[in-house]
A and B are shown apart, each in its own frame.
Chain A
Amino acid sequence: MTGRGRIVVVGVGNSWRGDDGAGPAVAAALRGRLGPGVPGAPVAVVDLDGEAARLVDAWDGADLAVVVDAVRTGAPPGTLHRLDACDVHASATASSHALGVQHAVALARALGRLPRRLVLVGVEGADFGHGTQLSDPVAAAVEPASRLVVGVVAEAAAAAIAGPAPP
């Protein structure tokens, strides 16, 4: 699923818990645009429930991992947040998954299994109750979030083509 030189996009969340389904919804929206077989974008798109060990496995050895997850920060619902991995451990309440993304980042850091670069795209959620519907502002944020992920991947692809700076 992953490996050095690879880019992985992970949609984290439970689509049966309202806005917690934002991550999987973005992953679904990206499947046609990113993924194996799409020229110029050697990207794996996967859904996960946020359980820490599975996340560590998913991004192990990747050059870039983009993790899309619902968050609760108090911002207006539908707000997009972009965090780099180095910011994630400082904001322990960013993810809606108490044993999820930020723990996976910390665990991977302790074990030396972080991807070379990790970007977290947070979608501010409103309603995490039972049900398969996203709230209106979160549903409206799926396309902008998808474009944000495509942009992050494109930046990385461009950097890879340019190659690393000579020592």
Chain B
Amino acid sequence: MTHKGTGGRSVRVEALTRVEGEAALHLDIADGRLRDAQLQIYEPPRFFEAFLRGRRYTEPPDITARICGICPVAYQMSACAAIEAACGVTVEGPLADLRRLLYCGEWIESHTLHVHLLHAPDFLGYDSAIAMAADHRAEVQRGLDLKKAGNDLLELIGGRAIHPINVRVGGFYRVPTRRELQEFAPRLERARDLALEVVRWVAGFDVPDLEGGWELASLRQPGEYPITRGRLVSTGGLDIGPDEFTDTLVEEHVERSTALHGTLRGRGPHLTGALARFALNAGELAPGARAAAAEAGLDPSTRNPFRTIVVRAVETLHACEEALAIIERYAEPDAPAVPVEPRAAAGTGWTEAPRGVLWHRYELDGEGTIVDARIVPPTSQNQRAIEQDVVGFVTDHIDGSDEVLAHGAERAIRNHDPCISCATHFLDVRVARS
């Protein structure tokens, strides 16, 4: 839709729907130069932080799961980690394994959704997965089958796929039997095979040349690919624990947005998510995923954001392999949860949501009432890096039509799979020229 504004041309494109969430991008171009690029985000964690105050310390896993329909497990796991840290409890053994297994289901589902229904159309020249499905029916159907395996794993461990109800501080309400998990294993073996096919499919896509200039940051836990725990490390030498994040992260309120921009003190834009995890932890991938990454030509020095589609496919394969390994070694725990008694303390925790590091902090009083809650989602951390990619594209194509700019900017954003509000709705792109 194009309409004339005063003092310049303004183009509004209501097409940026293939991002989870709601947001708007404004490009301000004056005299053939990009003056400003603003990614506006309407973000619910702010609302939830207020909503959490005064609630019981046992409630955040259920409440924060509502923030996102695509990554509820990430919210639950970061909430549990932070509250358990405040209460001085560590969950280990089969319960920690089950949490990882649940998280694998979410990675499979979320990554597969993004790769097939949101991202692949960009590379194959379609404006939607629906248009793509007409010509690539088998690939889209394969994606839906793979996604369903993740969905069903979420249901098996979490009780249901959207906003799982089986997670609690300290563990679960009910744990699966060894037999239930073993009966699910053939589904995951099939999913693993499909995931390998997906890696090979997306590895063949033509990608534009682009070198991201951001610092990559991800969790790192020796001996495992980062999902549920670790220290935050970066390509710029950062190495901190979740308590130090409080002082390292600078949250800047941006007037145009309900979101806060999260940056690391004294550093430029940083990027969390699949590309960062792979760059900093490639050696921890499961054997099949590592081999598939090598075959796809990925290596830890990859900085082209368009290649994230391949990294997500590799991580999906990893999640299938890791889920199978967890099922293989699973022994039913003595109890579905460890006791967690409240105390007057603050605790922090983080995990790797499909789209990056998700940090929670809770402050409790001695009765277990939440006095303060803070949530820093990956997208608010990635916002600066995403804007930087948009600026790079627009600067290189400044003479392009509004359609070219809007489409390229959409792609630059979509590379990073921003789960912008997790409540669907629209992402508008506006190009203003004067």
A interface with B by C-beta (< 8 Å): 14-17, 20, 47-54, 56-57, 96-100, 103, 106-107, 110-111, 128, 130
A97: chain B residues at CB < 8 Å are 424-425
Other-chain contact of A98, B69, B147, B161, B424 (Cβ < 8 Å): B424
Distance in Å: Cβ of A55 to nearest Cβ of chain B? 11
Whether B425 and A98, one on each chain, are in contact in the complex, defined by CB atoms closer than 8 angstroms, is yes
Query: If A56-B144, A57-B148 touch, does A110 touch B133 (CB 8 Å cutoff)?
Result: yes
Whether B130 and A107, one on each chain, are in contact in the complex, defined by CB atoms closer than 8 angstroms, is yes
Among B84-98, those with CB < 8 Å from A are none
Given contacts A16-B44, A99-B117, 7 further A-B contacts (CB under 8 A): A14-B424, A53-B147, A53-B148, A99-B17, A100-B424, A107-B117, A110-B140
Whether B423 and A103, one on each chain, are in contact in the complex, defined by CB atoms closer than 8 angstroms, is no
Question: A56 to B116, alpha carbons, bound, how many Å?
Answer: 14
Whether A57 and B17, one on each chain, are in contact in the complex, defined by CB atoms closer than 8 angstroms, is no
19 A–B contact pairs at CB < 8 A? A14-B424, A15-B66, A49-B424, A51-B70, A52-B117, A53-B144, A53-B148, A54-B161, A56-B144, A57-B144, A96-B425, A98-B17, A99-B17, A99-B18, A103-B128, A107-B129, A110-B133, A110-B134, A110-B140
Whether A110 and B137, one on each chain, are in contact in the complex, defined by CB atoms closer than 8 angstroms, is yes
Whether A14 and B69, one on each chain, are in contact in the complex, defined by CB atoms closer than 8 angstroms, is yes
Among B392-434, those with CB < 8 Å from A are 423-426
B382 on the A face (CB < 8 A): no
A100: chain B residues at CB < 8 Å are 424
Query: If A99-B17, A110-B133 touch, does A54 touch B423 (CB 8 Å cutoff)?
Result: no
Distance in Å: Cβ of B182 to nearest Cβ of chain A? 22
Question: A57 to B70, alpha carbons, bound, how many Å?
Answer: 16
Query: If A54-B161, A99-B18, A99-B20 touch, does A107 touch B423 (CB 8 Å cutoff)?
Result: no
Distance in Å: Cβ of A127 to nearest Cβ of chain B? 13
Range, interface on chain B: 20 to 34
Distance in Å: Cβ of B128 to nearest Cβ of chain A? 7
B144: chain A residues at CB < 8 Å are 53, 56-57, 111
Q: Which residue of the partner chain A has the closest CB to B162?
A: A49
Other-chain contact of B69, A51, A110, A130 (Cβ < 8 Å): A51
Question: A50 to B21, alpha carbons, bound, how many Å?
Answer: 12
Query: If A99-B18, A111-B140, A111-B141 touch, does A49 touch B129 (CB 8 Å cutoff)?
Result: no
Question: A57 to B154, alpha carbons, bound, how many Å?
Answer: 15
Whether B424 and A111, one on each chain, are in contact in the complex, defined by CB atoms closer than 8 angstroms, is no
Question: A49 to B147, alpha carbons, bound, how many Å?
Answer: 16
Question: A99 to B147, alpha carbons, bound, how many Å?
Answer: 16
A-B pairs with beta carbons under 8 A, tally:
70
Question: A163 to B259, alpha carbons, bound, how many Å?
Answer: 56
B129: chain A residues at CB < 8 Å are 103, 107
Query: If A50-B424, A53-B113, A53-B117 touch, does A103 touch B162 (CB 8 Å cutoff)?
Result: no
Closest 4 CB pairs of A and B: A49-B69, A110-B133, A130-B47, A98-B17
Question: A130 to B144, alpha carbons, bound, how many Å?
Answer: 31
1/0 contact trace for B120-154 toward A, CB 8 Å?
00000000111001100100110010011001000
Query: If A52-B117, A98-B426, A99-B20 touch, does A111 touch B133 (CB 8 Å cutoff)?
Result: yes
Whether A103 and B130, one on each chain, are in contact in the complex, defined by CB atoms closer than 8 angstroms, is yes
Distance in Å: Cβ of B355 to nearest Cβ of chain A? 15
Question: A97 to B422, alpha carbons, bound, how many Å?
Answer: 11
Other-chain contact of B162, A17, A20, A48, A52 (Cβ < 8 Å): A48
Whether A110 and B130, one on each chain, are in contact in the complex, defined by CB atoms closer than 8 angstroms, is yes
Distance in Å: Cβ of B382 to nearest Cβ of chain A? 20
Among B59-115, those with CB < 8 Å from A are 66, 69-70, 113
Whether A54 and B133, one on each chain, are in contact in the complex, defined by CB atoms closer than 8 angstroms, is no
Distance in Å: Cβ of A103 to nearest Cβ of chain B? 6
Distance in Å: Cβ of B57 to nearest Cβ of chain A? 20
- Which of A16, A54, A99, A103: most chain B CB closer than 10 A? A99
Whether A111 and B162, one on each chain, are in contact in the complex, defined by CB atoms closer than 8 angstroms, is no
B161: chain A residues at CB < 8 Å are 54
Whether A51 and B425, one on each chain, are in contact in the complex, defined by CB atoms closer than 8 angstroms, is no
- Which of A49, A57, A106: most chain B CB closer than 10 A? A49
Whether B151 and A57, one on each chain, are in contact in the complex, defined by CB atoms closer than 8 angstroms, is yes
Distance in Å: Cβ of A9 to nearest Cβ of chain B? 16
Question: A157 to B129, alpha carbons, bound, how many Å?
Answer: 34
Other-chain contact of A54, B134, B140, B151, B425 (Cβ < 8 Å): B151
Distance in Å: Cβ of A15 to nearest Cβ of chain B? 8
Question: A159 to B81, alpha carbons, bound, how many Å?
Answer: 54
Whether B113 and A51, one on each chain, are in contact in the complex, defined by CB atoms closer than 8 angstroms, is yes
1/0 contact trace for B183-213 toward A, CB 8 Å?
0000000000000000000000000000000
B137: chain A residues at CB < 8 Å are 110-111
Q: Which residue of the partner chain A has the closest CB to B138?
A: A111
Whether B134 and A47, one on each chain, are in contact in the complex, defined by CB atoms closer than 8 angstroms, is no
Distance in Å: Cβ of B344 to nearest Cβ of chain A? 29
Question: A111 to B128, alpha carbons, bound, how many Å?
Answer: 14
Distance in Å: Cβ of A70 to nearest Cβ of chain B? 11
Question: A20 to B117, alpha carbons, bound, how many Å?
Answer: 23
Q: Which residue of the partner chain B has the closest CB to A20?
A: B423
Distance in Å: Cβ of A135 to nearest Cβ of chain B? 17
